[in-house]
Amino acid sequence: MKHALVILTAGLALLATSCGDGTTESTVAPILDDYGSATFVDGVDNEYFPFTPGTTWSYEGVEDGEVERIDVIVTGDTRVVDGVTTIVVRDTVTLSGELIEDTFDWYAQDVEGNVWYMGEDSKEYENGEVKSTAGSWETGVDGAKPGIIMYADPAAHVKIPYRQEFYAGEAEDVGEILETNAAVTVGDTTYTNVVIVREWNLLEPGTLEDKYFAPGIGVVLEQVVEGGSGKVELLATARP
């Protein structure tokens, strides 16, 4: 699921990001993994991104004093994107019960187990009407390229910034794996062997967000760590 609670800062060549412990770390420009050499398989079963059709996740947070609800479902549909059969994941966001975003994300997994983000059809709503489709993109259309959303071996990519998507001027999210053996408590549940990914958007400087991926589940927590405040927690997940 690619929903971002808020998105973060960066520069193109050399950027300084503030770590969760308050230290500052310099990193090089994000890499764009070689999509052209990838061979794809059916379905997505990465341990940290297990997208079995019919699986659902429900999240909740607070934005400007209002309750934000995020519901994600692996639809069971597929879509061919640039010749690759992707799975379709629907992500809806409501604020105090009103729909504000409805997105269909497209993912594919290669033979090594890396999960690629192939594009999205995103709509933002206001008073029941579509007000924007900004951020929508599709691999192979108008120069857009996919990025990695989760590596097969996250430990091999710690502290190496990478593009999660690339459509110049429209979709330029970046990730950096901070840890691969963390523990985090969400509600009454403590998750271990958690992968923490810091994310930011090169087009919207000013904020940093950390996502916590638990094995066999996926995202259990999203938290703003710089440039604002906010947190979204997993309420429930269900598999068919």
Contact 119, 146 (CB under 8 A): yes
For residue 154, CA distances in Å to 36, 113, 162, 194, 196 come to 21, 11, 12, 10, 10
Q: What is the CATH number of domain 14-238?
A: 2.40.360
- The C-alpha atoms of residue 173 and residue 204 are separated, in whole angstroms, by 9
Query: E-assigned strands of the chain?
Result: 14-18, 24-28, 40-41, 45-46, 49-50, 56-63, 66-81, 84-95, 98-110, 115-126, 129-132, 137-138, 145-150, 162-163, 165-166, 173-186, 189-201, 208-214, 218-226, 231-238
- Amino acid 3: pLDDT: 54
- Amino acid 62: pLDDT: 85
Handedness of CA 220, 115, 132, 225 (dihedral sign): positive
- Amino acid 207: pLDDT: 84
- Amino acid 229: pLDDT: 83
Q: What is the mean pLDDT of each run of 10 residues along the chain (240 residues)?
A: 40 34 50 96 98 98 88 98 98 96 98 98 96 96 98 97 96 96 97 97 90 98 91 96
- The C-alpha atoms of residue 34 and residue 209 are separated, in whole angstroms, by 25
Beta bridge partners of 108: 116
Give, as one character, the DSSP assignment of residue 193.
E
